[in-house]
Structure 1
Amino acid sequence: MTVHNLYIFDRYGTLLYYSEWNRLKQSGITREEEAKLMYGMLYSLKSFVGKISPLDTKEGFLYYKTSKYALHYFETPSGLKFILNTDTSAQNARELLQQIYSQIYVEYVVKNPACSLKEPIKSELFKSKLDALIKQSPVFISRTV
């Protein structure tokens, strides 16, 4: 199992944070263009799931899996969106996303008076704590080329 990358968006689609760990293939477009594509796809998937679901789901869209990777999605009540791309065998990625939100984002962004919630996250403490949490997670395995 391995973690490829993480996106954090605000409720308006602004990319607040991006990091990658074991991403072997780049998209060939700018980070901003990639973020817009990711957010647009998530917006469409959430809308599709909400309209087509035969059940009244409270959580809606949670993840999807292709033959190459899995995308795990977690949205907070305030509209923050956490997207984690992993390999297809990753387990408990939703729990990891909830930990990223509650143990890292809330502690090192929300409670940090130097951080603005409407601007990209630049806190080195946030970055180092996130990196440590990801690397100690059972979902994370480093892949060397």
Structure 2
Amino acid sequence: MHRVLEDPEQYPISLKFGWPKLSTNEKIFLASMFYPLFAIASQLSPEPRSSGIQVLETASYQLHCFQTLTGVKFLAVVDPRQTGVEALLRRLHELYADFALKNPFYSLEMPIRCELFDTHVRSALESAEKLGVANV
């Protein structure tokens, strides 16, 4: 049996702790559960023209929703202690606008297939993680 910590060739070791990544099916399930709640909250709100749910809080996580003026929603599941999630979601919206909406070959509601978009999103998430902002 190979022991990683006993093997000098394994150094430096980079350990990263966090929640396990959600599978695609889990993301779809979470989104499909969120959208009806969002619509109900918008209709039941005493505020006229309410934008619905912005943050859904539980003891173990928060679900943040950033809705654009066009109705596109960006969701982030984060630790309840995280701060600055809205700024991160705004940055992701900027990247979406720059790399998807300005692309004449992109079709709405389709996956974004753009290496440059992926690179910028990864960079934004890494920067946010270093600052302790969010695990999206």
Q: Normalising by the residue count of structure 2, what TM-score does the alignment of the two structures yield?
A: 0.71
Partner of 1:80: 72
Amino acid at match of 1:132: S
Report the secondary structure of 1:78's partner residue.
coil
1:129–1:49 Cα change, 3 Å: same
Partner of 1:52: 44
1:133 Cα shift? 1.0
* Higher relative contact order (Cα pairs below 8 Å, separated by 6+ residues): 1
1:88 Cα shift? 0.7
Amino acid at match of 2:45: S
Aligned residues of 2:84 and 2:134 also touching (Cα < 8 A):
no
Report whether the alignment pairs 1:42 with 2:47. Answer: no
Gaps of 5+ in 2: 1-15
- Cα distance in 1, alignment partners of residues 76 and 30 from structure 2: 11
Runs of 4+ in 1 over 4 A off after TM superposition: none
1:24 paired residue among 2, 5, 19: 19
Partner of 1:89: 81
Aligned residues of 1:72 and 1:83 also touching (Cα < 8 A):
yes
Aligned residues of 1:70 and 1:85 also touching (Cα < 8 A):
yes
**Greater share of helix:** 2
**Greater share of strand:** 1
Aligned residues of 1:115 and 1:123 also touching (Cα < 8 A):
no
Please, what is the CA RMSD of the aligned residues? 2.5
- Residue correspondences, number: 117
**Which has the greater radius of gyration?**
2
- Cα distance in 2, alignment partners of residues 129 and 108 from structure 1: 9
Gaps of 5+ in 1: 1-20
Aligned residues of 1:109 and 1:121 also touching (Cα < 8 A):
yes
Q: Aligned ranges for residues 126-141 of structure 1 at < 5 Å?
A: 126-137=117-128, 138=131, 139-140=133-134
Aligned residues of 2:74 and 2:89 also touching (Cα < 8 A):
yes
Amino acid at match of 1:45: L
Q: Normalising by the residue count of structure 1, what TM-score does the alignment of the two structures yield?
A: 0.67
1:22 Cα shift? 6.9
- Cα distance in 2, alignment partners of residues 43 and 140 from structure 1: 22
Identity score, percent = 26
